[in-house]
Structure formats: C-alpha cells, structure tokens
Amino acid sequence: MADDWHARFSCIGRSYEYRIVNRRAPLTFEIGLAWRVPMSLDAGAMHEAAQLLVGRHDFTTFRSAHCQSESPVKTLDRLDVRREGERVLIVAEARSFLHHQVRSMVGCLTLVGQGKWSAQDLADALAAADRSALGYNAPPDGLYFTGARYP
C-alpha cells in the first residue's frame, strides 16, 4: 500500500447490519448478539419508512452528543429492512456514519414497526435536526460492522 494509505481515512464505504430477534421468548444463545423486541414488528412498514432516510441529509437528530464528526450532513446509500422468520435485519451502507447514527435510526424504525410512529413521524424527526426529536437509540447488541470498501 502507499505510505499515505490509512485503514479508516482511505475507506470509501462502510456497511453495518443490525439484528433484531422479534419474538416473545427470551434470547438464549443470542444474548448480547441481537436485540430482542417482543412486540410484533411490521418489517415492510419499517423498510418503506427507511427509504426516507436514504440520500444526503442533515442527520443531527440521529447523532450522539459525543460525535466528533465535523458535519452532521451524511449521504446514506442504502437502508434496507427485511424479515427472515423471527429475525428483522437492517442493512445500512454509506461512506461514513455519525456516532450512534445506525442505532438511532434502528430505534426509530422500530417505533414505526410497532405502529407507534408513522413514516411521516420519522421524516419529521429527520427534518427537526434536533436530538430531542429522536425516538430512542437501539441497544448496541445486534450491531455488526460487516464491511469496508476501498478504492
């Protein structure tokens, strides 16, 4: 590699997957590895709402107070939600993410999946550009870094 190559700063794309186990029964082998959500989730509604977050936006609402990024404006390339049996999988791809951005988006999408928020509520939270508009952060259990792209 070139002398100026850097594992973090030379990266042109990152991928994350968030794993939810959507069932009433407690986790056994997956404790700490997934987020159990006992209330029924509508993955279709979650996916539809997630598409409102794709593109270039000010993600201040979904940013941790401890975030060190210079700008809250990021371009989200992909945010897909799909159900596989009792699992709800959320895939996020972008050049870079804000601190807690994926977990914050997942927490709000879960509110949509439970019927507590509409897609418009999610759009309003994004437009607010205010952390107080956030529904909540999903726990770290279930968040996986799945890939990095380099030129």
**CA dist 23 → 33, 41, 86 (Å):** 15, 9, 6
Identify the helix (H) or strand (E) that includes residue 134: none
pLDDT of residue 82: 98
Q: Coil, strand or helix: which one is 144?
A: strand
pLDDT of residue 20: 98
Give the dihedral sign, CA 2/144/76/101: negative
pLDDT of residue 9: 81
Which DSSP category does 138 fall into?
P
**What is the block-wise mean pLDDT of the chain (151 residues), using blocks of 10 residues?**
82 96 97 98 98 98 94 98 98 97 98 98 98 96 96 89
- Write the DSSP string, 105-125: HHHHHHHHHTTSS-HHHHHHH
pLDDT of residue 5: 86
